[in-house]
Structure 1
Amino acid sequence: MAKVLVLYYSSYGHIETLAQAIAEGARQAGATAVIKRVPELVPEHVAQRAQYKLDQPASVATVSELPEYDAVVIGTPTRFGNMASQMKNFLDQCGGLWLEDKLVGKVGSVFTSTGSQHGGQESTILATHTVLLHLGMIVVGLPYSFKGQLRMDAVSGGSPYGASTLADDGSGGDRQPSANELDGARYQGWYVARVATALSVSPVRETQ
């Protein structure tokens, strides 16, 4: 049974909602899925003034626990076409794990959200993939076997790089993840768990 960590950062709850769907999909594939978040860097009074969602029940992860999992699925909102600084700060602390090859052969996957259709969903996921590859992880996306990616009847996030959602309704108002976007997240979680399970049977060869 694969063990999957859904590691996310969410300011307003959109990524948190997708994280729950990712974990649900992983469990449907028979994996154990744990949802955790990275530490907030914004001072509490600033976060309150910006109306951040501060009542998220997920516990805060530590870098040292990452090797305990067969797969790590990272969720981050987009900040100018890249991951949020909270997630980057967390990943920047993985130098010790990199030095000891602790994440080599683990599955890595990414999902995201933006405020608009062309707000950097794909660039954010691809930029995060670069970090995963440096850590020696095996990158898994959202394959086109999830047919929701081909829908043209409604605005929807999702790409072959990973699940995503749009957080703005186009008029500055809040938009929650759609049914299709949540289905994509569940499929990604399921697919990650399946790949991680297969790899756990045939582990990556260590150098001598």
Structure 2
Amino acid sequence: SRRRSNARSAKNPSFLLRFRLISLVFANPGRPPLMAATKVYIVYYSMYGHVEKLAEEIKKGASSVEGVEAKLWQVPETLPEEVLAKMNAPPKSDVPIISPNELAEADGIIFGFPTSLTAITQLTHHGMIFVPVGYTFGAGMFEMEQLKGGSPYGAGTYAGDGSRLPSELELAQAFHQGKYFAGIAKKLKGSS
């Protein structure tokens, strides 16, 4: 019987963990346009903490925009505790778990998931506006001297075997995405 290792091998080039953050804005017609702060929710799943680090930086960027209230949320865990233990997953942070009903309270949502869960862009077919960061990050988008996650679709990181944490450049792109997204969400809320 073949035994699988809990740790992913960095020597195996076919396996490279990659994380991406996707930004979506939707109009919430039930809320007065300029009466309250623009609510930006950063909703993520992070087993080993890589996406959580990016989400924290996105929150900082979104919070830097005047009139924007940013909040971190986790999605509920679907794996049983026994499986998580075998995967050596650390305990989850104390960030609150979001319910589907709470999503409707936001003016904009940034989702952060591992690559295996990024089929989220289909939500644009349900009235959400997809807000990629594009090439607004400037020279950082074209960095070729170091391994860098992220793309015009959004911030990201390569975790490799799990030991590589997001780099300063990847965190800077996450901050930029949060700030850029919050500005657009605020403008869209004001025009509704």
Both structures adopt the same fold (TM-score exceeding 0.5): yes
Superposed counterparts of 1:24-43, under 5 Å = 24-30=60-66, 31-43=68-80
Superposed counterparts of 1:1-208, under 5 Å = 1-30=37-66, 31-79=68-116, 83=117, 124=118, 127-130=119-122, 132-147=123-138, 148-168=140-160, 172=161, 174-203=163-192
Secondary structure in 1 matching 2:88: coil
Secondary structure in 2 matching 1:59: coil
Secondary structure in 1 matching 2:73: strand
Residue 40 of structure 1, CA deviation: 0.5
Q: Call closer, same or farther: CA 1:51–1:5 in 2, change over 3 Å.
A: same
Structure with bigger helix share is 1
TM-score by length of 1: 0.71
Decide which moves more: 6-15 or 143-152. 143-152
Q: Call closer, same or farther: CA 1:186–1:173 in 2, change over 3 Å.
A: closer
Identity of aligned residues (%): 41
Task: Report how many residues are paired.
Answer: 154
Tell me, yes or no, if the aligned pair for 2:48 and 2:162 is still in contact at 8 Å: no
TM-score by length of 2: 0.77
CA deviations on 1:42-69 (whole Å, 9 max, x unpaired) are 1112102211122311110000011111
One-letter identity of the residue aligned with 2:134: P
Tell me, yes or no, if the aligned pair for 1:29 and 1:194 is still in contact at 8 Å: yes
Following the alignment from structure 1 to structure 2, what is the Cα–Cα distance between the partners of residues 23 and 173? 23
Tell me, yes or no, if the aligned pair for 1:142 and 1:184 is still in contact at 8 Å: no
CA deviations on 1:120-148 (whole Å, 9 max, x unpaired) are xxxx3xx3211x21221111111212021
Structure 2 alignment gaps of length 5 or more:
1-36
**What does residue 93 of structure 1 align with?**
none
Following the alignment from structure 1 to structure 2, what is the Cα–Cα distance between the partners of residues 25 and 34? 12
Following the alignment from structure 1 to structure 2, what is the Cα–Cα distance between the partners of residues 175 and 35? 23
Greater CA radius of gyration, 1 or 2? 2
Structure 1 alignment gaps of length 5 or more:
84-123, 204-208
Which runs of structure 1 show a deviation greater than 2 angstroms over 4 or more consecutive aligned residues? none
Following the alignment from structure 2 to structure 1, what is the Cα–Cα distance between the partners of residues 150 and 52? 16
